[in-house]
Amino acid sequence: MGLASKLYRGETRFDFIGTRRRWYAASLLLVLVCLLSFLLRGFNVGIDFKGGTQFQVPGGSGVTATTVDNAMSKGPVHADGAAQQVGNGGNRSVIIKTKEISQTEQTAVKNALAGQLKIPASSITVDSVSSTWGSEITKKAVQGLIVFLIAVFIYITIRYEWKMGIAALVALLHDLIISAGIYSIVGFELTPSTIVGLLTILGFSLYDTVVVFDKVNENVRDLGATARMTYGEAANLAVNQTLMRSINTSLISLLPVAGLLFVGAGLLGVGTIKDLALILFIGLAVGAYSSLFLATPIVVELKEREAESKALAKRVAAKRAAAAKSGEPVLAGAAGVEVNRPATLGTPAPAPRPGARPSRKQPRKRP
């Protein structure tokens, strides 16, 4: 049976739990890189969060990011960072930002840019946000994120148990740090759309994790009475059984987002959607990874410390040792496959006694 068929049937044998140490190491490395980017590069925070004034100059002949930078350097107010070009063709424009300035200073900057670039001052649009409003937006965004994480922990704890709540919370924090870290590395502007996208991908990651947890809960039901496999093997079986579903949901979600990011923002230059598209693309991919390689292994890590799980592992080992001596098949392994299977199926038929009549189920041999 091919890999695609096994994926479709949920019969893969990947050892997600047994190899969890390498996934822990990979996630830790990514988190450290992202934390270093936070310290060294920081974020390109939009004016909606830090406050300030933004001037949008329509693109045209001789209007580029460089010419706008040069014109701004000769004006009455210095720019807060380099100018950025957004859009393509007739929709192309250049955006440059300053600190929060008064209405009089805004008019002076518009006139200075218009004179240097030889364009009408009325064609330049201005967007101003106070620093007080920006700090309030930042505080509300952080509060919303904290409330979301607390609500997730409470829900998972009530629905399953607190160990799964801890695992889900760690996976969500992992997704949050890596998504924000890549945003910091790339240097895209942090806007309210980014926060909306971030909460969206955290919700997707939670959904994917709950699907796996639900299957784990189903597989470990009555496990103590049957002792057919350990908790780790039952959890690994659950991840394999839901693997195809995770792949399908991730691909279906990533394809339209990839269209927004690479076609809309990349080829067409629609700069207004690139912030949202990037955070969605990164978050969906990282969320799918954490639900398979991080959340469930952490649950197993916590559960295997329990006395009940240790006792179950001993009973399973004793049962398999007894089966090995008798040659009986026993369910075990990553996906519940039979081990200690006899070389032939069933019990071989006894040899016929001398002079015994042949069985009716077998045809008589003709001389």
Q: Using CA atoms, how far apart are residues 170 and 159, in angstroms rounded to an integer? A: 17
For residues 203 and 291, is the Cβ–Cβ distance under 8 A?
A: no
- 357 part of a folded domain: no
Q: Which residue has the higher pLDDT, 291 or 48?
A: 291
Query: Which pLDDT score is estimated for 90?
Result: 64
Do 180 and 65 lie in one domain? The reply is no
3-class DSSP state of 189: strand
Taking each helix axis as running N to C, give the angle between helix 231-241 and helix 307-326, from 0 to 180 degrees, rounded to the nearest 10.
Answer: 90
Mean pLDDT of 76-95: 74
3-class DSSP state of 331: strand
**Chain centroid offset of residue 278 CA:** 13
Mean pLDDT of 359-367: 49
Query: Which pLDDT score is estimated for 64?
Result: 82
3-class DSSP state of 83: coil
Query: Which pLDDT score is estimated for 339?
Result: 43
3-class DSSP state of 330: strand
Q: Which residue has the higher pLDDT, 132 or 214?
A: 214
- 156 part of a folded domain: yes
Last residue within a domain, chosen from 64, 98, 129: 129
11 falls in which pLDDT band (50, 70, 90)? low
CATH code, domain with 58: 3.30.70.260
Q: Say which residues have a Cβ less than 8 Å from residue 364's Cβ, sequence separation at least 6.
A: 358
- 174 part of a folded domain: yes
29 falls in which pLDDT band (50, 70, 90)? very high
**Chain centroid offset of residue 160 CA:** 21
Is a pLDDT exceeding 70 seen at residue 32? Answer: yes
Last residue within a domain, chosen from 261, 292, 308: 308
Is a pLDDT exceeding 70 seen at residue 358? Answer: no
Mean pLDDT of 99-118: 85
Do 143 and 223 lie in one domain? The reply is yes
- Residues above pLDDT 70, as percent of the chain: 79
Query: Which pLDDT score is estimated for 267?
Result: 53
Mean pLDDT of 99-113: 85
- First CA to last CA distance, the chain: 44
Q: Using CA atoms, how far apart are residues 214 and 332, in angstroms rounded to an integer? A: 20
Is a pLDDT exceeding 80 seen at residue 349? Answer: no
Do 37 and 90 lie in one domain? The reply is no
Query: Which pLDDT score is estimated for 347?
Result: 41
- 117 part of a folded domain: yes
- 326 part of a folded domain: no
Is a pLDDT exceeding 50 seen at residue 346? Answer: no
- Residues above pLDDT 90, as percent of the chain: 15
CATH code, domain with 241: 1.20.1640.10
Mean pLDDT of 96-125: 85
Query: Which pLDDT score is estimated for 187?
Result: 79
Interstrand relation of 189-190 and 330-332 (parallel, antiparallel or unpaired): unpaired
3-class DSSP state of 293: helix
For residues 131 and 50, is the Cβ–Cβ distance under 8 A?
A: yes
Query: What does DSSP assign to residue 13?
Result: -
Range of the domain at 196: 16-44+133-308
Q: Which residue has the higher pLDDT, 195 or 262?
A: 195
Do 86 and 217 lie in one domain? The reply is no
Q: Where are the beta strands (DSSP E) in the chain?
A: 44-45, 52-58, 84-86, 93-98, 125-129, 189-190, 330-332, 337-339
Q: Using CA atoms, how far apart are residues 41 and 50, in angstroms rounded to an integer? A: 17
37 falls in which pLDDT band (50, 70, 90)? very high
What phi, psi does 338 have (nearest 5°)?
-80, 135
Last residue within a domain, chosen from 65, 97, 129: 129
Do 163 and 293 lie in one domain? The reply is yes
Is a pLDDT exceeding 50 seen at residue 103? Answer: yes
Do 174 and 197 lie in one domain? The reply is yes
Query: Which pLDDT score is estimated for 9?
Result: 61
Mean pLDDT of 154-176: 92
Q: What is the pLDDT of residues 183-202, one digit of tens each?
A: 888 877 777 778 777 888 88
- The count of structural domains within the chain is 2
Mean pLDDT of 7-34: 84
Q: Using CA atoms, how far apart are residues 217 and 315, in angstroms rounded to an integer? A: 20
Do 162 and 254 lie in one domain? The reply is yes
Q: Which residue has the higher pLDDT, 29 or 73?
A: 29
Q: Using CA atoms, how far apart are residues 93 and 56, in angstroms rounded to an integer? A: 7
Mean pLDDT of 224-251: 83
Is a pLDDT exceeding 80 seen at residue 51? Answer: no
Nearest Cα neighbor of 319 from 215, 201, 229, 212 is 229
Q: What is the pLDDT of residues 128-160, one digit of tens each?
A: 877 677 677 778 878 888 888 899 899 999 989
